[in-house]
Amino acid sequence: MLINELDEFNEVIFFQQGIVDIGFEVNRVKTWVLRQRNRCIIGDYGLTYNKRSLFLFRTTSACFGYSVRRTNWKNLIANHPEISELMKEQIKKDYDILIERVLEEKESMIRKWNKRSDYNGILSVISNDFNSLNARKSSVGKPLAELKEEEEHESEEELDI
């Protein structure tokens, strides 16, 4: 296991060769969703935006590449603002694509667990960051933005009475 859910990133890893699987864990069952071959970057979003890992990362073959430690990465971002903004944009775009695909599968898995009559609760890591999950749908099938608007609308109606 390379990185577990909720682990802090201490370095950005640039794999030039090798296979990396990305997945999640629900009720202590690990599910692997994506497989990246060669030229994979791990930890760039976590270090850039000070976030912990929401996913599991494992290598399934011998991997070769480079890494940049946290302090060097932070210095690179701080000392080169002209390229750091472009890097941050691209890192965010790449992460949004990754998070969307993995979270769709995770939500599907959680819905399956919810349908089971022999389970009362689900053990899973989810993000409280509304912006990163804005495109993600809730477990009842509505986007989180719609749910938030409905809650605001209901509270406004209560005030009008």
For tokens 């989180």, what's the residue?
144
- For residues 23 and 30, give the distance between their C-alpha atoms in angstroms, rounded to a whole number: 7
| Residue type (1 letter), 125 | V
Type of residue at 97: I
CATH superfamily for domain 11-115:
Jelly Rolls (2.60.120.10)
Gap between the Cα atoms of 59 and 39, Å rounded = 13
8 Å CB contact between 113 and 122: yes
Per-residue pLDDT tens listing for the chain (161 residues)? 899 999 999 999 999 999 999 999 988 899 999 999 998 999 999 999 999 999 999 999 999 999 999 999 999 999 999 999 999 999 999 999 988 989 999 989 888 888 887 777 777 887 765 344 444 444 444 444 554 555 555 555 545 54
Which residue type, as a one-letter code, is found at position 2? Answer: L
Which pLDDT score, from 0 to 100, does residue 105 have?
92
Spell out the domain ranges in the chain.
11-115, 128-161
